Structure 1
Amino acid sequence: MNLTAIGDLARGLTLRTRATEIKTQIETLSYEMSTGKVQDISERLGGDYSQILDLDRSLARLDAFRTATAEADLFTDVMQQSLTTFGDSVGEITASLLSFGTANHTVTHEQAAVQARNELDTMMSSLNTRVGGRSLFSGIATDVSPLPSSETLLTALEAELTGLTTVTDIRAAAEAWFNDPAGFDAVIYQGSDTPLSSMQISENERITIPITATDPAFKAALRDVAVAALTSDDALALPTDQRTILFAQLGVGLANAQDETVKLRAEVGAAEARVEEAAIRNSAARTSLDYSRNALIEADPYETAAKLQTVQFQLESLYSVTVRNANLSLVNFLR
């Protein structure tokens, strides 16, 4: 019989090498058990990364769209709030002017003018709203506020109305100045004539909200409220009965302007709905892609647990053998 034997040094080296291999397997299986993914992706995919790379590209695009839809959602939400504030102010002054116009009293007229100044300030402030450092109603000039202070507007308009003594002349002059490109748009509006660029919210969908502070609905409301604020001004010198007529007409005009503001809110609301729908679709697509990617590299938890238990037993057995070998000696053999 031929016997093959190895020396003690070789045996020790063999045991240490085997122990290192088993420990490496335990680390690999522990990683896969904790993450649910195989550690050696190349082996799982057979060296073909094309499918997983394509999934990663798609997931990266969806991550970008998730950021875009979040920004678009914030933008449209704040714009809707601004329009609500604007519309509420228009509603308040409209009701006041219509009711004040029926009372031919100087004090009542003065109160209406004061309220109009306050509401005008609120309306212009709402159009100067910013989100993330960007102005909402300045077109592409998002770094500047679209409107100056209400006092600046009243001063410029007062210069156009001074000396006019009839309701017809005052309203015609105000309308002409607000519609003249060299009037409100040039003197008051500080934004860009180019609307804000569209926002891409999915692979094939964009939303555009081309609303600036020069929108006809805004200008009509600002015009009538500004005129109401100046009605009791000494520069106009309107008789009491003419003030009453002017307040009544301005109230009717503002009621129409309020309807146009509601249409703008509906337009922004439709954009909000599209953003929300796109976000839901993108989220569903991302979930599906995540599932497909995980399916390629997932580690079966039950199989991994079984392998881990087996390898741990092997390591324990190896340690037992190592201890027994360490205790072998001629003295122990002769006992």
Structure 2
Amino acid sequence: MHAIGDLATFMLSKQFQARLRMSAETAAEEATTGLAKNRIKHLGGSSLAISLLDRKTQLLKQHQLGNAETAVFASATQSILQRVQEQSGALAKNLSLVSQLNSAPEVKALSDSAALAFVDIVNALNADVAGLFLFSGAATNARPLPSGQALMDMLRADIGGPISADVAISAVESWFKAPNGPFETTAYSGSATGFAQRPIGPDQTVIFGLRADGETVRDLLSALATAALASDDALGLTLTEQKKLLLEGHSDLLKADRALTEERAGLGLSEAMIDASRNATDIELDRVSMDRVSLLGVDQFEAASEFEAAQQQLEVFYRIAARQSRVSLAEYLR
């Protein structure tokens, strides 16, 4: 009977200890968060309202995540377009001096710089963010273009030579811009119909309307390629004809620059929409959070007092338990 009494006392002590620890943990959490830990008890058994708030919070956080991802996509696109425009603009500035050049090495240097710009810009248009290609339209999983050097090699092989300056200009324009031409059928690998769309709200999406096969990009690449081919030995052009290609490239680059500015302005409007949606989502999340507090809020000072009381009870309990353990051990050793 004595052993059974000891066991019963031990079990009661463990239960009491567990209740004290649970009370302390609950009070500590409520004092920290200001929200009731036992939601069902706090709400008197009715949890529908808080369940609806939980669902709304989950949806808003999904929109928040979508906003953040779309903002990154838009920012990366804007950054690439800025880089492209700066590089093409610098080349256009250099090409404006073509009429003053009278030596083949100078003309070749300008043509070679156009070829380098072509390669760099094509490679930039192949950029991706987290595996999503920026200029492939709806087919964000497909790289839009070959590498810059591969695309230039394809163009050179198709243009052939020797030909005149006028034929070369026409051939380059046709290669890039003709419906079902080489650029469409062999170079571009993205979506030919749809544009990239990213959600930014419950019923709101942003459409990124610039693809690598769009008119703006084709005009830009055609202008760069025209200038790049000026010094191509296979074409067999005279110095005067080479300068004609460079001047044609310069004129087309200025037009492409204006189109790029318009594209970037449109993208800027999309970025503004993303920011507005992100702010609206943050405000709604704050409102839902306030509604949650109004339903589940507790007095944090009272919770802190309960925590202190539970802590003190636990300390007393441990001191008594320790003293009893020492007495029991002494009796056992006797």
Which runs of no fewer than 5 residues in structure 2 stay unpaired? 319-334
Name the residue aligned to 1:40.
Answer: 38
Which residue in 1 is equivalent to 2:175?
177
Deviations 1:203-233 (A, max 9, x none): 2211000221011111111111112111111
Alpha-carbon distance, 1:273 to partner: 1.4
Higher mean C-alpha deviation, range 150-159 or range 168-177: 150-159
Q: Residue in 1 aligned with 2:72?
A: 74
Q: What's 1:333 paired with?
A: none
1:54 paired residue number: 52
Structure label with greater radius of gyration: 1
CA distance in 2, matches of 1:252, 1:316: 86
Alpha-carbon separation, structure 2, partners of 1:252 and 1:27: 74
Equivalent residue letter for 1:40:
N
Deviation at 1:36, TM superposition (A): 2.1
Tell me which residue corresponds to 1:244: 243
Q: 1:27 to 1:187 in 2, by over 3 A?
A: closer
Question: How big is the shift at 1:294?
Answer: 2.0
Question: Which residue does the alignment assign to 2:284?
Answer: 285
Distance in 2 between residues matched to 1:317 and 1:157, nearest whole Å: 87
Residue 98 and residue 50 in structure 1: after superposition, are their counterparts in 2 closer, same or farther (change >3 A)? same
Instruction: Name which of structure 1's ranges 24-33 and 256-265 shifts more when overlaid on structure 2.
Output: 24-33
1:1-335 alignment, distance < 5 Å: 23=20, 25-158=23-156, 159-160=158-159, 162-165=161-164, 167-180=165-178, 181-307=180-306
What CA deviation, in whole Å up to 9, does each residue of 1:98-133 have, x standing for no partner?
212332321111111110111111110110111101
RMSD: 3.0
Encode CA deviations 1:230-274: one digit per residue, 9 max, x unaligned. Answer: 111122222212222332222111111111111111122211111
Paired residues in the alignment total 311
SS at match of 1:235: helix
Instruction: Give the Cα separation in 1 of the matches to 2:282 and 2:29.
Output: 28
* Structure 1 residue 68 displacement after superposition: 0.5
SS in 2 for 1:200: strand
Unaligned runs of 5+ in 1: 1-7, 320-335
Q: Aligned partner of 2:250: which letter? A: G
**Once the two structures are aligned, what percentage of the paired residues are identical?**
26
- Letter of the 1:303 partner, please give it: E
Q: TM-score, normalised by structure 1?
A: 0.82
TM-score, L = length of structure 2? 0.83
Q: What is the identity, as a one-letter code, of the residue corresponding to 2:27?
A: L
Change in CA separation of 1:128 and 1:208 when aligned onto 2, cut-off 3 Å? same
Task: Give 1:21 shift.
Answer: 9.8
Instruction: Give the 3-state SS of the residue equivalent to 2:205 in structure 1.
Output: strand
AA in 2 matched with 1:89: Q
Aligned counterparts of 2:212 and 2:244: Cα–Cα separation in 1 = 29
1:262-318 deviations in Å (ceiling 9; x for gaps): 111112221111111111111111011112112211210233345556777889999
Q: Distance in 2 between matches of 1:203 and 1:142?
A: 22
Letter in 2 for 1:59: T
Quote the Cα distance in structure 2 between the aligned partners of 1:96 and 1:207: 37
Change (3 A) 1:47 1:218: same
Q: Deviations 1:119-178 (Å, cap 9, x if unpaired)?
A: 11111011011110121111233233211133333333333352321x333222222221
8 A contact 2:31–2:301 mirrored in 1: no
Evaluate the alpha carbon distance shift between residue 42 and residue 83 of structure 1 in structure 2; reply closer, same or farther with a 3 A threshold.
Answer: same
